[in-house]
């Protein structure tokens, strides 16, 4: 599959994917969603030396300003549910990706754009970033996991307020609510994301993947996630990376992890 909308750059183990529909404020249409699925289902997993993925939007105005509403006009209940389920499935690919995925939010992250950012493992916001789930203004609710992930991130009461009012919040409030990890000067979002992925890239790859899986399990599986944690902990004990990490600690040197 060729990328028509996603601009792909791969350098120093970091894959930067820029959603390039600037005139449409990078709204998610069918083709964009197809390419995001392909990126996380087939393309990125095969990249040798991949340390992590950064998602951002083209231009200075928007990360992703929402879904492409023009595509909604022909939907009925069945096709609407199918569209929502497809979007959820694609965003689960991001959430469960075994390498860190960071959203570099350079502007509006509204509706499906906010949902996309929340599916990533972390979010870096520029000072002018704006977040919101304004679907009630269209007589809708979020369909790509927004009601669940926003509640996980900011809590029930604030999630209720943001969903029911459709209000937008700025980067600083998003940071205060723990929706974003860092707020940086406008234009420095990707640089900060690269800094974080570079740091993570020096750690044991198998351990990183299992940490992501266990943290996600807290929300998806509840108390049974503790079982997943101790099972993965035991399995990691037998990896060469664990032996190398312990040896490096004892010998007071930098560990050389090989992902085995």
Confidence of residue 234 (pLDDT cuts 50, 70, 90): low
Q: Is residue 52 a contact partner of residue 100, using CB atoms and an 8 Å limit?
A: yes
Q: Is the pLDDT of residue 244 over 90?
A: no
> What is the per-residue pLDDT across 135-187, written as a single tens digit (0 to 9) for each?
988 888 889 999 989 999 999 999 999 999 999 999 999 999 999 999 999 99
Residues 103 and 53 sit within 8 Å (Cβ to Cβ): no
Given the residues 4, 71, 95, 115, select the one marked as catalytic: 115
Type and span of the H or E element at 137: none
| 228 vs 123, higher pLDDT | 123
Task: Tell me the whole-structure pTM to 2 decimals.
Answer: 0.89
pLDDT value at position 242?
76
Q: Which of 135, 161, 172, 213 is catalytic?
A: 135
Best CA proximity match to 96, nearest among 210, 207, 192, 194:
210
Can you tell me the distance from the alpha carbon of 87 to that of 64, in angstroms, rounded to the nearest whole number?
Answer: 14
pLDDT digits (tens, 9 = 90+) for 56-90: 999 999 999 998 888 877 888 888 888 899 999 99
CA-only gyration radius of the chain, Å: 19
φ, ψ for residue 40 (rounded to 5)? -90, -20
Q: What is the pLDDT of residue 121?
A: 98
| Catalytic (active site) residue 135 | yes
- pLDDT of res. 250: 77
pLDDT tens for each residue of 29-39: 999 999 999 99
Mean pLDDT of the chain: 92
In degrees, to the nearest 5, what angle opens at C-alpha 85 toward C-alphas 107 and 161?
50
Domain boundaries, the chain: 6-200, 205-251
Task: Give the H/E segment covering residue 76.
Answer: none
| Cβ atoms of residues 110 and 68 within 8 Å | no
CATH topology of domain 6-200: 2-enoyl-CoA Hydratase; Chain A, domain 1 (3.90.226)
């Amino acid at each position: 599959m060729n990328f028509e909308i996603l601009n792909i750059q791969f350098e120093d183990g970091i894959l930067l994917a820029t959603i390039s529909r600037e005139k449409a404020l990078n709204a998610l249409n069918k083709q964009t969603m197809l390419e995001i699925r392909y990126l996380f289902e087939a393309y990125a997993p095969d990249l040798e030396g991949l340390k992590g993925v950064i998602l951002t939007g083209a231009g200075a105005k928007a990360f992703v300003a929402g879904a492409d509403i023009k595509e909604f006009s022909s939907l009925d209940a069945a096709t609407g549910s199918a569209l929502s389920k497809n979007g959820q499935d694609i965003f689960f690919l991001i959430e469960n990706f075994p390498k860190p995925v960071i959203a570099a939010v350079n502007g509006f992250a509204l509706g499906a754009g906010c949902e996309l950012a929340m599916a990533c493992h972390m979010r870096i916001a520029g000072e002018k970033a704006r977040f919101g789930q304004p679907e009630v203004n269209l007589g809708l609710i979020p369909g790509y996991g927004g009601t669940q992930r926003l509640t996980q991130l900011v809590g029930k009461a604030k999630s209720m307020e943001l969903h029911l009012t459709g209000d937008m919040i700025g980067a600083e409030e998003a940071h205060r609510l723990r929706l974003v990890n860092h707020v940086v000067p406008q234009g420095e979002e990707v640089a900060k994301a690269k800094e974080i992925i570079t740091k993570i890239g020096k750690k044991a790859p198998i351990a990183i993947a299992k940490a992501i899986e266990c943290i996600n399990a807290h929300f998806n599986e509840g108390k049974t996630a503790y079982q997943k944690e101790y099972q993965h902990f035991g399995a990691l004990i037998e990896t060469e990376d664990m032996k190398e990490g312990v040896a490096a600690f004892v010998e007071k040197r930098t560990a050389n992890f090989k992902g085995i």
